Structure 1
Amino acid sequence: MAYTETTTTGYFQRLGSSFSGMGLGIVLFIVGSGLLWWNEGNFVATRNALNEAQGLSMELASVDQVDPAADGKLVHAVGNAVTQDLLIDSIFGVSVQGMQLKRKVEFYQWTERSSTQKRQKLGGGEETVTTYTYEQAWQAEPVNSQNFKDPQARTAHVNTTALTVQNETFKATNVTFGAYRLPDFLISSISGAQPLNVQLTQEQKNGLNQQIRNQHAAAARQQGGGMWSAAQGGYGYGATDMVHEQGNVVYVGAAPNAPQIGDVRVTFTYVQPAKQISVLAQVNGNTFQPFKSKNGKTVSGLSMGVKSMDEMYEAKHTSNSMLSWVLRFAGAGLVIAGLKVLFAPLSVLASVVPILGRIVGAGAGLVSSLLGGAWSLLVLSLAWLRFRPMIGGIMLAIALVLVSLLMLRGKGKGAVPPPAPPAQPAA
């Protein structure tokens, strides 16, 4: 059953909040403008570092032996990454030889969803109606049901957990690349996880079951009862078999096909102990380190499979370009959001008549978007003049020409044509 919460905010309270929020608007505007400027400089610096690195890179023909002549050089190499490390999850007793072992945990919980509607009232007040609904779903973290808005839901939808455990990634530390050793920053880039078939011994299952019973006994004592009741959505701590295997999943609960509140689902994946990789890094003895360019930017990379040097640098240039566009939109969005907050008092002032407030709000939103877009373009143009003078100068010149044409066109439309001469009488 849905729970509804209604709050009313008075006109002067709304007006005061809108004025007090103007400080946030200024901060958003400044942060967005700064991000736009920094992003252009970072894009150029990264591009220059990549170009410098690409000009210095050399092919390492083989990784079968350490090449003293390559020490200190930025190289591109292809080979197999191999490890003998045995990765162990001590909680579940799962082990595998590989680059990575990942444990992903999910909890079956009561969750709270909310939807909000705001209604402006005559006189400038505002009524906010929030509706809360509750459903059962798998969650990445346990949900504290005592924070539910509905007081009845706090007792009717109590969340428990059969086992308290978190996500974790176990990584190999000893990985060879032919005669070389891979450092941690390259090992972390090795991908290609696949399901790990889990097979627990009866002893491991018994240990997990005992851990579950201990946890529930402690929780029951804290609640002042002997065991969790079915109405609370929990299990009796005397349950004997709560651990089940399903492929790469360890299910903690009474029935995997009928989840109950408190059940835990743990998924295991791993990266195989041998992977073909392509490396771009500076040789440091029998290992590697990132290359540091003249402008201080570092360059290194690892790609799965066989990738040529040109392909790896092309991918890095593409990634740099994509990141710069994402940050451009993010910066412009912050600028526009800041202006909307700054103009918010206008719509509140006009909201004495609700429809007038909506009209002014829509107009303020449009002006904020146009002004924010124009300001963002100006910052970008100035940044390009600073970091890419030729392109920035061309952009500025085009912008000035367009503005001049628009002004001339406006003057032409605004000019009053001379009166037509009087018609001559027919002969």
Structure 2
Amino acid sequence: MADRVSVTTRTGYGERVGNSFKKIFGGLLFVIGSIVLLARNENHFFVTKVGLNEGEKLVQDADAQQLNPELDGKLVHIQGVTSSPASSLQDPRFGVKADDLKLIRSVEMYQRSESSSEECHDNYGGSQDCTTTYDYKKKWSDSAIDSSRFHETQGHQNPATREYESETREKEPIIVGAFTLDKAFTSQLTDDVKLPLNGQELKLPAQETEYTSSMNNNTETSAETSEMTEQLSGDASTGEQANGALTPESANTRSGASSKKRFHVDDSMIYVGLDSHSPAVGDMRIRFSVVKTGTVSLVGKQSGNEITLYKTSNGVDLALLANGKKSSTEMFADAQAENLGLTWILRFVGLVLMYMGFAMMLEFIPTLAKVLPPLAGLIGFGTGVIAFAATLVLGLGTIAIAWLVVRPVIGIGLLVVAIGGAIAFIRSRKKDKKPDPQTKDSAEVVEV
């Protein structure tokens, strides 16, 4: 089956005009949605900012190694090393062990993916020819790709299910000094590092597993290898080795075995498939990583011997965690910067959605002129300018009104800018329509 499929369709003038009028309603929904997004975004920014300011004023430094009953129920800042009294973690399926805070299994599957591109050409008379090209490629993905949604499903199917899934195992409890950390903090421990498989006792079937030479850092002598081969052969005949756990050090015994193995193991991953050098759809790569103990800084509520979420007077939840040693001032500054960064991202998203909405609402105007494509292009440029101007005015106006409630001075300033922009745009349009003064003077002279 071809990896590229092209489909060409023609849309008549009447259908295009009808579709453009239908987009007016969709565009209106986009504009309304963007207004809600911008308003809620500004409110969230202000509420979070006030909550962080309150927290910075109330926070007190505490000794992580010793409980202070006087600080119970208060917002505290501690520094210390994470640890856990729990036993080692083990992956139940593959037997990988780690004496760390978290053991993470990451699974990727080799799958088919679909991407599409569209090229359209306007015809005189108002019709349009569009060619949609669907490209199908194979790639590694950590999530399942639903091939039933592909335009061309035949020959591009992916497995409906995955034999192995990604998962994270975590020690409980995780502590810092004398304090036990709440889930709000342990969920932020995400700085993981690769876990080598060398030395692990993997739960894999002997007849279906092949280890690469990289797993054998200490090369054994020929005599030792021969002796181990005989021993394993004897074990295999009794059925003991087939069901037992395997270590990478047993790789030498299968150096001459058939390459048609289902599991291929090296120091970095377990490969599930016949050939890791030529992956097939459905093959899987399984890697392991761990979150190790380390120094962290925390800001949260001291509740007995626990550090939990702290709720400010305006309802903001505070649970700050940073790797390494950081003062409370630094941590709150980082939180404020993160809050501001998220706000600007959502502002941009809101304005883009608003522009798209206005563009959809005005699309019927250039569509009516599609009988003459060059004329429609000029009109389309004009409606694009109008949509952009309307976005700036309404977008800034929405942000200004949101700020009027909490910071009137800032809100009024933004509102003035929005209104000024609207007036400037209207005047520029009127100026374009005024006759040239020189032409007017010439006409008066002739009349005299």
The two structures have a TM-score, normalised by structure 2, of: 0.78
- Which position in structure 2 is the counterpart of 1:34? 36
Does residue 122 of the first structure (1) align with residue 107 of the second (2)?
no
2:395 partner letter: S
Q: Which of 283, 305, 319 is the equivalent residue of 2:338?
A: 319
Q: CA deviation at 1:144?
A: 5.2
Q: CA deviation at 1:146?
A: 5.7
Give, in whole Å, the separation in 2 of the partners of 1:146 and 1:328: 36
- Which position in structure 2 is the counterpart of 1:80? 81
Q: CA deviation at 1:260?
A: 2.6
Give, in whole Å, the separation in 2 of the partners of 1:401 and 1:5: 48
Q: Helix, strand or coil: the match of 1:268?
A: strand
- Which position in structure 2 is the counterpart of 1:90? 92
- Which position in structure 1 is the counterpart of 2:225? none
Measured against aligned partners, the alpha-carbon deviations of 1:253-281 in whole angstroms (never above 9, x if no partner) come to 22222323322111211101x21100000
Q: Which of 348, 369, 384 is the equivalent residue of 2:388?
A: 369
Give, in whole Å, the separation in 1 of the partners of 2:274 and 2:160: 13
Q: CA deviation at 1:416?
A: 5.6
- Which position in structure 1 is the counterpart of 2:291? 271
Structure 1 147/59 Cα, relative in aligned 2: closer, same or farther at 3 Å? closer
- Which position in structure 1 is the counterpart of 2:71? 70
- The runs of 5 or more residues in structure 1 that have no matched partner are 211-237, 423-427
Q: Which of 318, 341, 360 is the equivalent residue of 1:341?
A: 360
Q: Which of 131, 136, 139 is the equivalent residue of 1:137?
A: 139
Q: CA deviation at 1:175?
A: 0.6
- Which position in structure 2 is the counterpart of 1:227? none
Q: CA deviation at 1:379?
A: 1.4
Does residue 286 of the first structure (1) align with residue 300 of the second (2)?
no
Does residue 383 of the first structure (1) align with residue 402 of the second (2)?
yes
Measured against aligned partners, the alpha-carbon deviations of 1:266-325 in whole angstroms (never above 9, x if no partner) come to 1211101x2110000011111022211111112221101000010001001111111111
Give, in whole Å, the separation in 2 of the partners of 1:400 and 1:33: 17
Give, in whole Å, the separation in 2 of the partners of 1:406 and 1:122: 33
Residue correspondences, number: 389
**Aligned pairs for 1:236-247 within 5 A:** 241-247=261-267
Q: CA deviation at 1:103?
A: 1.8
- The runs of 5 or more residues in structure 2 that have no matched partner are 210-257
- Which position in structure 1 is the counterpart of 2:173? 174
Structure 1 7/265 Cα, relative in aligned 2: closer, same or farther at 3 Å? same
- Which position in structure 1 is the counterpart of 2:188? 189
Give, in whole Å, the separation in 2 of the partners of 1:320 and 1:89: 37
Give, in whole Å, the separation in 1 of the partners of 2:161 and 2:42: 51
- Which position in structure 2 is the counterpart of 1:261? 281
Q: CA deviation at 1:78?
A: 0.4
2:54 partner letter: E
Give, in whole Å, the separation in 2 of the partners of 1:33 and 1:283: 40
Give, in whole Å, the separation in 1 of the partners of 2:190 and 2:200: 29
Q: CA deviation at 1:183?
A: 0.9
Structure 1 130/300 Cα, relative in aligned 2: closer, same or farther at 3 Å? same
> What is the root-mean-square deviation of aligned Cα atoms in Å?
3.2
Q: Helix, strand or coil: the match of 2:50?
A: helix
Contact 1:162 1:263 survives alignment (8 Å): no
Q: CA deviation at 1:396?
A: 4.0
Q: Helix, strand or coil: the match of 1:326?
A: helix
Structure 1 205/388 Cα, relative in aligned 2: closer, same or farther at 3 Å? same
The two structures have a TM-score, normalised by structure 1, of: 0.82
1:194 partner letter: V
Q: CA deviation at 1:406?
A: 8.9
Q: CA deviation at 1:337?
A: 1.0
- Which position in structure 1 is the counterpart of 2:23? 21
Measured against aligned partners, the alpha-carbon deviations of 1:31-50 in whole angstroms (never above 9, x if no partner) come to 11111112222211111111
Structure 1 328/263 Cα, relative in aligned 2: closer, same or farther at 3 Å? same
Q: Helix, strand or coil: the match of 1:48?
A: helix
- Which position in structure 1 is the counterpart of 2:240? none
Q: Helix, strand or coil: the match of 1:307?
A: coil
Q: CA deviation at 1:111?
A: 3.1
Structure 1 174/203 Cα, relative in aligned 2: closer, same or farther at 3 Å? closer
Q: Helix, strand or coil: the match of 1:118?
A: strand
Give, in whole Å, the separation in 2 of the partners of 1:165 and 1:267: 12
Give, in whole Å, the separation in 1 of the partners of 2:370 and 2:427: 38
1:186 partner letter: F
Q: CA deviation at 1:22?
A: 1.9
Structure 1 341/112 Cα, relative in aligned 2: closer, same or farther at 3 Å? same
Q: CA deviation at 1:404?
A: 7.7
Measured against aligned partners, the alpha-carbon deviations of 1:77-126 in whole angstroms (never above 9, x if no partner) come to 10111024433322222221222222221122333332211122222222
